[in-house]
Amino acid sequence: KNKIVKIYLTAREKECINFLILGKSAKEIGISLNISHRTVERHIDNIKRKYNCRKTNKLLNMVIHETTC
């Protein structure tokens, strides 16, 4: 039996994922948000963990299509 799980992202994680969807790099996102690219990478890692996903391209596909692994 499949269980629907709601995944909550912080406001900053949402900003980062939206920029990723637009094809921006961590460095470009960092410049836009006035934060370090390493902080952006940390946010992306947190999102991957929440979605139980290791690869960024798979994560983006899941987020765009609102699915889970």
State residue 47's pLDDT score: 94
Question: Is 34 exposed, middle or buried (CB count within 10 Å of its CB: 0-12, 13-18, 19+)?
Answer: exposed
Which residues does the chain have with pLDDT short of 70? 1-2, 67-69
State residue 66's pLDDT score: 72
Q: pTM here? A: 0.84
State residue 64's pLDDT score: 85
